[in-house]
Amino acid sequence: MYLGLDGEGPLYRQLTRALKAAVLDGRLKAGARLPATRALSQELGLSRNTVRLAYDQLTAEGFFHGRSGAGSFVTLTPVVPTRNKPVATVAPQSQFARRARAIKNFGVGRLHRGLRYNLQSGEPIHDPTAITAWQRELARAALHTSTNYPDTQGLPALREAICDYLVRRRGMSCTPDDVVVVHGTQQAMALATQVLVDPGDCVVLEDPHYQSVRQVVDVYGADVEAIATDADGLACSELEAVNPKLIFVTPSHQFPRGSLMSMARRIELLNYADRRQCWIFEDDYDSEFRYDVHPLPALSALDAADRVIYSGTFSKVLFPSLRLGYLVVPAALRRDFVRA
């Protein structure tokens, strides 16, 4: 417990004033258990009698009360409202900060609450059975979890499990060394933009597109070109007029239209990226949920030139608060992504 003594008068009175101030300004909450006199005396470098005298004084004044065998507690004392400090305003300290301030509705997914019909995307329905199973497995795993710093690239066992899933279900050929574990699709997009794009570089987005990807590329200062989509996905013929550094696509389930990028369009896009030596960010966010037809393999599974950065997330199959996603990056970019 940090308590600043003012240096005025006997130590027990200084400590009394410091503890009283902590109660009145809310740092010591009503009902909070106080440290034992021995522990606090050792922490502050004071004698135990000094601490005991301060506790006795504040108990007499009604700030503290004791419970037999349990210790001393803060009484339900009203907190004296503190004067609101004026919020300091400063100019943006970097171009990144300036662009970030200009972005509006940063949390649009959390604005809609209490509606009769809520069509907000990105909020899956939770299966109580899955939540119970997760809590049980989390408690069991905690017994075997290292408390040291984890691998920057992600836990090896998790990367192995991700690879096993992608090979079996998405037709990909990857190894755990290709996987970078992140906090979700949003961080995956930010990381790719940070590594691959300089301010002023051209970035292609689908039209229409996921709003948050536009926010990412805007905050990194990219020049955005929105290319139309149709029933077959991104209109690759329109790419000839631009010179992108990075192309964001949702081939398995175009967002928000829902179309599936055709095989012909996928080959066309991959050939374009190889010819122009640009990169493709494949957001495979919804590929687990397809019930009408057999899913096409991931765009990355068709990528012979190694130009695709693949992104997946556990936010839909488990829950968003898990904050867990992953990237599969080309070998030539792996070191850059891990260091970033």
Read off the CATH number of the domain in which 162 is found.
3.40.640.10
Owner of token pair 């990381």: 191
Reported as a single tens digit per residue, the pLDDT across 37-73 is 999 999 888 999 999 999 999 998 888 888 877 888 8
303 with 214, same domain?
yes
> What is the percentage of the chain residues whose pLDDT exceeds 90?
53
Lowest mean pLDDT among 80-89, 142-151, 192-201, 306-315: 80-89
At 107 the pLDDT is 57
Contacts of 168 (CB under 8 A, 6+ apart): none
Predicted TM-score (pTM) of this structure: 0.75
Report the alpha-carbon distance of residue 298 to residue 65 in Å, rounded: 65
Mean pLDDT estimate for the chain: 88
Residue where a domain stops, chosen among 74, 99, 124: 74
Lowest mean pLDDT among 104-108, 176-180, 237-241: 104-108
- Residue 339, both tokens: 């260091």
Query: Residue 169: pLDDT band by 50, 70, 90 thresholds?
Result: confident
Task: Write the CATH number for 49.
Answer: 1.10.10.10
330 with 230, same domain?
yes
Counting the structural domains of the chain, the total is 2
299 with 156, same domain?
yes
Residue where a domain stops, chosen among 57, 74, 91: 74
Contacts of 34 (CB under 8 A, 6+ apart): 28, 40, 55, 64, 71, 72, 73, 74
SS3 299: helix
Mean pLDDT of the 100-115 span: 68
Contacts of 151 (CB under 8 A, 6+ apart): none
> What is the percentage of the chain residues whose pLDDT exceeds 70?
94
The answer as to whether 217 is a domain residue is yes
Report the alpha-carbon distance of residue 124 to residue 320 in Å, rounded: 8
SS3 48: helix
* Among 251, 304, 316, residue whose Cα is nearest residue 275: 304
